[in-house]
């Protein structure tokens, strides 16, 4: 039993299973409807004409009020099925779902609106299903149409809409019904960039008070948006953990799937010493704002056994290793790795990500090392990247480093360190946005008279 009271819980999913009945031929469905009764009446044991498919196999998790939870998993893992059960549009085979609050959902395209009705009629229909009175819808109609921004199409039947228009109107409705809980499926992906930005602004505001359940294949947007994530795999809930832990585990799993059983990835997490203290090396510059912590030994990640990352160092272009930087200066990043087997076209890469796991910048060696190198087992490699360190806003960052084999589009990862370098930025000036810009001068002056 959870320690949370029902008041704190927005969604509680307990032991939910879903079994679909699969009929190999359409007429077997009819047979299933009729035959068992006939056979029972004749005193015979009825048989089933379908195969069972378990899309969900006992899913348990809770979403607290105000939480933003991502649902991740590969195609067919049961994400949409779970959302439909939470929304009440699909019945679970067993288990229960408790939802506290008004739920509005943007599920897969095609669900929700009546295609024969106009946009206007569908707005009234779906907003009233979501609990708004006619007067409330009248009062909000113009805002909904302005948000959707689909012009005269609002008077035309929804069946004439493009998928982008459809999702615009559907999102506009759910954004105006005072929902306590929003459930967003991948549908948002069909909107154009400007509309998606508008939705994201709305969702960022919404999550200040509301509860959000967000499904995506894109771990980047889950990391960017969600506090925690539920990972589903073939109907099983593998984990419900912080978004970072769940996404890292999921990415690792997907990589393992690519390798197959031939190569067993070894988790570095398992080897990590509990409570290892990361000590920053000595500061070099007096007015430091950006500090680097070598974390190669403690970084979570994995390796296939074919190659390993040995060290990651950042320093000045002369090669002197430093741990403190101001941002804006030229730096040299050196990644050393060992190939334990012969590799054709090894590539070493890195990217710097923010606290939420959002990638900010990075590079790999492939485009610079042409033709690709061939190396024999036991070769030690050093990749060097010389670049201008950006000004990063205050916060914690980390650098992911990897060695792979192949090209940027088709490669086999051999070692991956999630947090090879930890970066702390403390500056009184840079505060906003993803990337800090060093402003040379900021001023304000009066350019006209006031009343
Ligand atoms: N009505 C249905 N009848 C039979 N099988 C179904 C039905 N709906 C879903 N399934 C199956 O259940 C499994 C889970 O489907 P679901 O759509 O929930 O997965 P998903 O994780 O949302 O996938 P995707 O990421 O591709 O959208 C799939 O194997 C799918 O084929």
Given this model, what pLDDT does residue 111 score?
A: 57
Ligand 1 proximity of 189 Cβ (cutoff 6 Å): no
Ligand 1 proximity of 22 Cβ (cutoff 6 Å): yes
Ligand 1 proximity of 79 Cβ (cutoff 6 Å): yes
Each residue's pLDDT, cut to its tens digit, for the chain (451 residues) gives 444 556 689 999 999 999 998 888 888 788 888 888 888 888 888 778 788 899 999 999 999 999 999 999 988 899 989 999 998 889 999 999 999 998 988 876 555 788 899 999 999 998 998 889 999 999 999 999 999 999 899 999 999 998 888 889 999 999 999 999 999 887 666 667 677 777 877 888 898 889 999 888 777 778 878 889 999 999 999 999 998 889 888 877 876 666 555 445 555 555 444 444 333 333 333 344 677 777 777 777 778 889 999 999 988 888 888 877 777 788 899 999 999 999 999 999 999 987 767 788 899 998 888 888 999 999 999 999 999 888 777 777 889 999 999 887 788 889 988 888 888 777 666 556 777 666 667 777 878 777 6
Residue 217: partners with Cβ closer than 8 Å, 6 or more residues away = 72, 74, 75, 186
Given this model, what pLDDT does residue 250 score?
A: 86
Given this model, what pLDDT does residue 430 score?
A: 55
Distance CA 199, CA 63 (A): 22
Ligand 1 proximity of 81 Cβ (cutoff 6 Å): yes
Nearest CA owner, ligand 1 atom 16: 78
Atom from ligand 1 closest to the CA of residue 81? 18
| Domains within the chain, CATH numbers bracketed | 64-248 (3.40.50.300), 263-274+281-425 (2.70.50.60)
Q: 209-221: buried (b, 16+ CB within 10 Å) or exposed (e) per residue?
A: ebbbbbbbeebeb
Distance CA 212, CA 173 (A): 16
Ligand 1 proximity of 78 Cβ (cutoff 6 Å): yes
Given this model, what pLDDT does residue 284 score?
A: 32
Question: Do 271 and 93 touch, CB atoms closer than 8 A?
Answer: no
401: helix, strand or coil: strand
Nearest CA owner, ligand 1 atom 18: 78
Distance 368 CA to ligand 1 centre (A): 43
Nearest CA owner, ligand 1 atom 5: 20
Given this model, what pLDDT does residue 451 score?
A: 63
260: region left, alpha or beta (phi > 0 left; psi from -120 to 50 alpha): left
Residue 16: partners with Cβ closer than 8 Å, 6 or more residues away = 56, 58, 59, 60, 82, 85, 92, 94, 95, 96, 97
Distance CA 198, CA 190 (A): 13
Q: How far apart are the first and last CA of the chain?
A: 65
ipTM, 2 decimals? 0.96
Atom from ligand 1 closest to the CA of residue 82? 18
327: region left, alpha or beta (phi > 0 left; psi from -120 to 50 alpha): left
Distance 239 CA to ligand 1 centre (A): 19
By the 10 Å C-beta count (0-12 exposed, 13-18 middle, 19+ buried), 95 is classed as middle
134: helix, strand or coil: helix
Q: 49-62: buried (b, 16+ CB within 10 Å) or exposed (e) per residue?
A: beeeeebbbebebb
What DSSP string describes 16-65? EEEEEEE-SSHHHHHHHHHHHHHHHHTT-----SSEEEEEEEEEEEEEET
């Amino acid at each position: 039993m959870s320690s949370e009271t029902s008041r704190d819980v927005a969604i509680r999913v307990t032991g939910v299973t879903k079994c679909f009945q699969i009929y190999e031929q359409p007429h077997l469905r009819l047979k299933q409807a009729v035959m068992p009764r006939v056979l029972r009446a004749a005193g015979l044991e009825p048989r089933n004409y379908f195969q069972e498919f378990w899309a969900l196999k006992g899913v348990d998790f809770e979403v607290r009020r105000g939480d933003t939870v991502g649902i991740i998993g590969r195609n067919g893992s049961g994400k949409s099925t779970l959302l439909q059960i939470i929304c009440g549009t699909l019945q679970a085979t067993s288990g229960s779902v408790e939802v506290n609050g008004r739920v509005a959902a943007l599920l897969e395209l095609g669900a929700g609106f009546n295609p024969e009705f106009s946009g206007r009629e569908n707005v009234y229909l779906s907003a009233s299903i979501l609990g708004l009175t006619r007067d409330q819808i009248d009062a909000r109609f113009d805002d909904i149409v302005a948000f959707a921004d689909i012009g005269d199409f609002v008077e035309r039947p929804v069946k004439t809409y493009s998928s982008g228009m459809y999702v615009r109107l559907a999102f506009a409705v759910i954004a105006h019904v005072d929902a306590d809980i929003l459930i967003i499926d991948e549908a948002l992906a069909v909107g154009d960039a400007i509309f998606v930005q508008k939705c994201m602004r709305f969702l960022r505001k919404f999550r200040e008070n509301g509860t959000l359940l967000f499904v995506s294949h894109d771990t980047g947007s889950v990391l960017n948006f969600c506090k925690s994530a539920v990972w589903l795999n073939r109907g099983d809930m593998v984990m419900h953990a912080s978004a970072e832990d769940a996404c890292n585990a999921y990415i690792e799993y997907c990589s393992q799937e690519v390798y197959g059983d031939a190569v067993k990835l070894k988790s570095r997490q398992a080897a990590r010493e509990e409570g290892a203290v990361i000590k920053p090396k000595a500061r070099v510059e007096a007015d430091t704002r950006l500090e680097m912590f070598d974390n190669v030994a403690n970084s979570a990640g994995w390796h296939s056994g074919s190659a390993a990352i040995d060290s990651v160092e950042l320093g000045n272009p002369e090669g002197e290793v430093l741990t403190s930087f101001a941002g804006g200066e030229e730096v040299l990043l050196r990644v050393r790795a060992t190939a334990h087997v012969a590799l054709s076209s090894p590539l070493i890469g890195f990217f710097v990500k923010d606290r939420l796991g959002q990638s900010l910048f990075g590079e790999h060696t492939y485009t610079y090392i042409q033709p690709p190198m061939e190396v024999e087992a036991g070769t030690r490699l050093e990749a060097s990247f010389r670049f201008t360190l950006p000004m990063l806003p205050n916060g914690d960052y980390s650098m992911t480093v990897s060695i792979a084999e192949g090209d940027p589009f088709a490669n086999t990862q051999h070692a991956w360190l999630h947090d090879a370098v930890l970066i702390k930025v403390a500056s009184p000036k840079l505060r906003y946005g993803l990337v800090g810009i060093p402003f040379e001068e900021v001023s304000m002056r009066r350019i006209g008279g006031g009343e």
